[in-house]
Amino acid sequence: MESILFSQLKKNLKKDTTGFKETKLAVLGNCATQLLSQTLRGYAYELKIALNVFDADYDQLEPQTLDPNSELFTFEPNYILIQLCSEKLQLEFCDSSPEEQESFANRVMARIQEYWRRIEARMKAPILQFDFVEINDGVFGNFGLKTQKSFLYQIRKLNMLFSEAASKDKQVFPIALNSLSAQVGRDAFFDPQLFYIAKMPIQVDFLPQIAKRVFDTVEALAGHFRKCAILDLDNTLWGGVVGDDGMEGIRIGELKDGKIYSDLQRYFKELRNRGVLLAVCSKNEYDAAIRPFREHPEMVLREDDFVMFVANWEDKASNIRRIRETLNIGMDSIVFIDDNPFERNAVRSQIADLTVPELPPEPEKYLDFLRKSNLFETVSVSGEDAKRTQQYREEAQRTESAATFASYDEYLQSLEMVAEAKPFDDFHFARIAQLTQRSNQFNLRTVRYTESDIKRITKDDHFITLYFTLRDKFGDHGLISVVILEKRDNGTLFVNEFLMSCRVLKRGMEEFIINKIISTAKENGFTLVEGEYIRTQKNAMVAQLYTQHGFTDCGNGIFHADPNTYTFTPNYIKES
């Protein structure tokens, strides 16, 4: 949709949107926003969204955010878009005193945060706001870069303050307009004629690209974003064909134009570090294809950067479907990158929801093309993102290997699972408390404990505490289960807390834990183990857990087992 023209999108405005998802957007700005609003509506049609826009007139930010009964607030938008154009800010700058000019960025940012505060006090709608298009007013020449008195200095500072403020405000989502302007250059982006006739700071034909940027974030906020890039190898991640040229012959790094591909690999590596999953889909012999990732000194990407590595002679569409199934993610969250137009078309025609960017013919242009296509918009980042590849990789290996076994038992056996059961300790208090707070499904009583509760219980002689970890030949699941046993006077050990992460369901871990509870009771001289199931909206999956494991149903959600006569359930997990 990169090259869609305003006039084309405008034709969508009259079209029927029956059955489309309805979304309300309020647009506020210090310049003429009507054509932007029209473009957004036209673009929304392409995404099957019926966009209802409230376009506040020019310069209405102040009254619309101040009056609790304003059209903005009564409209109840799903999203708010703010456009403050630098041209208007510059007029304000010129009308300020020299002292005010030096604090211009701070003052404007304070005002913007006041708008945010007013909106946030009344509604939860995400606030989308363009960053500021950089204008060199030329008054100070190059020296403007080193004096606070210049508008150039202040507008750059404003952009930095804007990002800082947005990073601390969970309701605000900046839209990168300045870099879009820089990409094409100000002479193309800004038409003085249009500005002076219509108060529009952006050329009409750039509006569709801007609308795309806005909807990249809107869609990501709605949970539609791309999580995975499936990459071709020959002439995509390196120059040449590894099957013909050999590992030493592929162009990567210092060899001829190899830097093109090194930089491309760096871009994908950065994406991977950010949490985007990478997979390979290549028509190649597997051994030849994987070798550079293991042995070539100049490769940036390595084998463990990929969640799946598929190299064979089957058609790519089938391989992509297999990757999607194994990773268990939506086809619409996958991007397929291939230099070969024939492959792209073949795949595109077979898989409708897959994103297949039409790369430029020249490899040296791939990187810039991918950068500006903004294929991997996101609305959050966390420390866990970097580990995502590892987790999916291990899960993919488990799934793949499960398919090769005749029986599930045989598969479980092959996993070489090792669990440990230990009393709570200082290092794990936080994780244990977090699990009691978050686990909903495999949770027998759903008792929530804080970290200080957990500390107290650990020290209290009335309780026996156990946490469980599990690892297998593909990787470590970490701490996945919490059990708190309460000593009751009459020889009864009561299961006060019993929860497990659903990630490890159906591997025998349930059996392992229950066996451990029983043996613990026996070792400590208890004559009865009492379990309880307290129904919640989400824990139906464990309603029968105790009876399935040999407990007697005593009614009212109470279950009993005698540790001295209990028959342990076999499983394939070894205790370390």
Partner 1 sequence: MMDRQEVFKRLNEIFQDIFEDENIVVTDETCADNMDGWDSLRHITLISSVEREFGFKFAMKEILEMENVGIMADIIVERATK
Using CB under 8 A, list all residues that contact partner 1. Answer: 6-7, 10, 14, 34-35, 193-194, 196-198, 200, 204-205
User: Toward partner 1, which CB reaches closer, 7 or 437?
Assistant: 7
Q: What's the rounded Cα separation, in Å, for the pair 220 and 377?
A: 7
The token duo for 341 is 């137009």
Name the nearest CA neighbour of 153 among 163, 167, 139, 168: 139
Smallest distance, partner 1 to C-beta of residue 238, A: 41
User: Toward partner 1, which CB reaches closer, 205 or 486?
Assistant: 205
User: Toward partner 1, which CB reaches closer, 172 or 207?
Assistant: 207
Smallest distance, partner 1 to C-beta of residue 193, A: 5
Report whether 508 contacts 572 (CB < 8 A).
yes
Report whether 217 contacts 79 (CB < 8 A).
no
User: Toward partner 1, which CB reaches closer, 205 or 219?
Assistant: 205
Q: What is the DSSP string of 260-324?
A: HHHHHHHHHHHHHHHT-EEEEEEES-HHHHHHHHHH-TT-SS-GGGEEEEEEESS-HHHHHHHHH
Smallest distance, partner 1 to C-beta of residue 59, A: 16
Name the nearest CA neighbour of 414 among 426, 400, 424: 400
Report whether 336 contacts 320 (CB < 8 A).
yes
φ, ψ of residue 531 to 5 degrees: the values are -110, 155
Q: What's the rounded Cα separation, in Å, for the pair 492 and 301?
A: 57
Smallest distance, partner 1 to C-beta of residue 10, A: 7
What 3-state DSSP class applies to 443?
A: strand
Smallest distance, partner 1 to C-beta of residue 30, A: 18
Smallest distance, partner 1 to C-beta of residue 282, A: 43
Q: Which helix (H) or strand (E) holds 495?
A: strand 492-500
What value, to the nearest 5°, has the Cα angle with vertex 279 and ends 375 and 480?
Answer: 100
Smallest distance, partner 1 to C-beta of residue 288, A: 51
Smallest distance, partner 1 to C-beta of residue 33, A: 11
User: Toward partner 1, which CB reaches closer, 34 or 569?
Assistant: 34
Smallest distance, partner 1 to C-beta of residue 88, A: 18
Smallest distance, partner 1 to C-beta of residue 204, A: 5
User: Toward partner 1, which CB reaches closer, 55 or 377?
Assistant: 55
User: Toward partner 1, which CB reaches closer, 50 or 198?
Assistant: 198
Residue with token string 């970890």: 469
Smallest distance, partner 1 to C-beta of residue 42, A: 12
Smallest distance, partner 1 to C-beta of residue 8, A: 11
User: Toward partner 1, which CB reaches closer, 202 or 300?
Assistant: 202
Q: Which helix (H) or strand (E) holds 499?
A: strand 492-500
Position 248, amino acid: E
Q: What's the rounded Cα separation, in Å, for the pair 6 and 500?
A: 54
Report whether 26 contacts 36 (CB < 8 A).
no
Strand ranges for 316-434 from DSSP E = 334-337, 417-422
User: Toward partner 1, which CB reaches closer, 29 or 292?
Assistant: 29
Report whether 277 contacts 307 (CB < 8 A).
yes
Non-local (6+) Cβ contacts of 314 within 8 A are: none
Q: What b-and-e string marks burial along 14-51, b requiring 16 or more CB atoms within 10 Å of the CB?
A: eeebeeeeebbbbbbbbbbbbbbbbbbbbbbbbbebbb
User: Toward partner 1, which CB reaches closer, 35 or 418?
Assistant: 35
User: Toward partner 1, which CB reaches closer, 41 or 324?
Assistant: 41
Non-local (6+) Cβ contacts of 497 within 8 A are: 436, 444, 445, 447, 449, 482, 483, 484
Q: What's the rounded Cα separation, in Å, for the pair 431 and 423?
A: 14
Smallest distance, partner 1 to C-beta of residue 475, A: 57
User: Toward partner 1, which CB reaches closer, 17 or 179?
Assistant: 17
Residue 226 has what DSSP assignment?
-
Q: Which helix (H) or strand (E) holds 6?
A: helix 6-10
User: Toward partner 1, which CB reaches closer, 92 or 205?
Assistant: 205
